[in-house]
């Protein structure tokens, strides 16, 4: 029997991806079905449902599930789930679809799934704003009072995404037909939950932590991973390889940088470098919960949560992504509560007087002695061609990232927020 944490939801890994003759038959059927064009976000969601990453989800959420997730952090049946996983559709297409119909879900000319419609429900502007307030509103300066609706529609990518969704949501179970480009483009890095579990089992791990990455890996990330290795059997460095926002560093460049870091500064047997196919939702603390939820399916029982995890601008409190774990429902029945626990770590940095990596819990010195580390700060310096402060990153990694930036013909301005700059320390 496995010593790893059980998949979320109490049903084992729920995988909607078809194989062999069943796949061929469904692909032939899909060619004759009404096709609905889906977003990159929905494509990632489908792949995660296909490989079991979103267990126990087997399709897109009903209105009851959507409402309960937004309000209560649970599906309608009481299973913990922190963010909506919905499929939007324009009204003209929705009017031509009825409950019980089967449709094909297509992105960029590829049919990723078929779906049996159980329900369709309107999403008014009021519904979208309500979802935004429930899912994206935080405790930071940009969420205070009227600030949220003054700033978020222009500057919060998650809010912009929801407000731009089409008028109707479609609900129903799916059969997934493709994993897209990920198995080939990220061979050896794109790993399914079954594959990571097999790796952990082979290494004899039972207490496993995950480090979430969407930025290049700097000294603070390295320090967090090594703290986790000290108290767990090993760590999964798990990078988002789906879509990010303009100005972020492409996944292949970030993955290569992690490989360089592992090669030179880690005991390789204690770390796994992998990626997962989602787009960022930029949901701050709620996204931290989502990261823990699907990591449980990958065999992870400890999720590293540091400063401003999955944060956007100054919408969230620096450690709101940690405290939210203390506010979520913890019951609901067998397997329905979240079992992946947060590994809460304070703000980390390099201290010149300590002569090493430290945190607010261990370093007694003034902030003038500290090198504030953040992915945003690193991206801005690299994008601007500025000097990288000593001890910010490993030389081999900085050299790799500089080569990428030097090859760019167009650059996107990287905005700094208080948390990334160190002003709020």
3-state secondary structure of 122: strand
DSSP symbols for 283-347: -THHHHHHHHHHHHHTT-SEEEE-TTTT--TTSS-TTHHHHGGGTS---SSTTTS--PEEEE---
Out of 41, 107, 169, 214, the active site residue is 214
The whole-angstrom separation of Cα 381 and Cα 366 is 23
Out of 41, 169, 197, 215, the active site residue is 215
The verdict on whether omega for the bond into residue 56 sits within 30 degrees of 0, i.e. cis, is yes
The whole-angstrom separation of Cα 234 and Cα 418 is 32
370 included as an active-site residue: no
The whole-angstrom separation of Cα 38 and Cα 325 is 32
Query: Which two three-digit tokens encode residue 6?
Result: 């059980």
- Locus of tokens 């080569």: 403
41 included as an active-site residue: no
The whole-angstrom separation of Cα 335 and Cα 421 is 41
Q: Which residues of 199-233 are buried (b: 16+ CB within 10 A; e: fewer)?
A: bbeeeebbbbbbbbbbbbbbbbbbbbbbbbbeebb
Active site members = 214-215
């Amino acid at each position: 029997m496995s010593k790893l944490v059980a998949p979320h939801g109490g049903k084992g890994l729920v995988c909607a991806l078809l194989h062999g003759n069943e796949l061929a038959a469904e692909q032939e059927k899909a060619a004759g079905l009404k096709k609905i064009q889906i977003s990159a976000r929905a494509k990632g969601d489908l792949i995660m449902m296909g490989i079991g990453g979103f267990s126990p989800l087997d399709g897109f959420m009903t209105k009851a599930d959507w409402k309960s997730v937004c309000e209560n952090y649970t599906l309608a049946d009481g299973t913990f789930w922190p963010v909506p996983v919905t499929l939007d559709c324009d009204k003209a297409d929705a009017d031509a679809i009825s409950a019980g119909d089967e449709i094909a879900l297509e992105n960029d000319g590829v049919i990723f799934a078929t779906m049996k419609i159980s329900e369709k429900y309107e999403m008014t502007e009021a519904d979208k704003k309500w979802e935004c307030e429930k899912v994206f509103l935080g405790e930071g300066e940009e969420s205070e009072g009227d600030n949220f609706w003054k700033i978020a529609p222009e500057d919060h990518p998650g809010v912009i995404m929801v407000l731009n969704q089409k008028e109707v949501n479609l609900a129903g179970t799916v059969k997934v037909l493709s994993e897209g480009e990920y198995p080939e483009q990220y061979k050896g890095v794109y790993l399914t939950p079954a594959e990571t579990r097999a790796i952990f089992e082979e290494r004899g791990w039972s207490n496993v932590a995950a480090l979430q990455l969407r930025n290049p890996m700097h000294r603070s990330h390295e320090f967090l991973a090594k703290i986790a290795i000290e108290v767990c059997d090993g760590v999964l460095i798990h990078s988002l390889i789906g879509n990010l926002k303009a100005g972020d560093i492409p996944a292949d460049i970030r993955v290569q940088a992690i490989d360089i870091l592992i090669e030179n500064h880690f005991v390789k047997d204690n770390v796994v470098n992998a990626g997962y196919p989602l787009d960022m939702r930029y949901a701050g603390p709620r996204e931290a919960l989502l990261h823990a939820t699907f990591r449980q399916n990958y065999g992870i029982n400890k999720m590293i949560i540091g400063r401003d995890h999955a944060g956007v601008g100054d919408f969230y409190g620096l450690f709101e992504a940690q405290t939210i774990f203390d506010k979520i429902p913890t019951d609901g029945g067998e397997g329905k509560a979240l079992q992946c626990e947060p590994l809460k770590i304070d703000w980390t940095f390099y201290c010149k007087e300590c002569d090493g990596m430290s945190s607010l819990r261990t370093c007694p010195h003034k902030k003038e002695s500290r090198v504030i580390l953040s992915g945003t700060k690193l991206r801005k310096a690299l994008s601007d061609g500025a000097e990288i402060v000593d001890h910010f990153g490993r030389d081999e990694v900085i050299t790799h990232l500089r080569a990428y930036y030097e090859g760019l013909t167009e650059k996107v301005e990287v905005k700094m927020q208080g948390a990334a700059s160190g002003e709020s320390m």
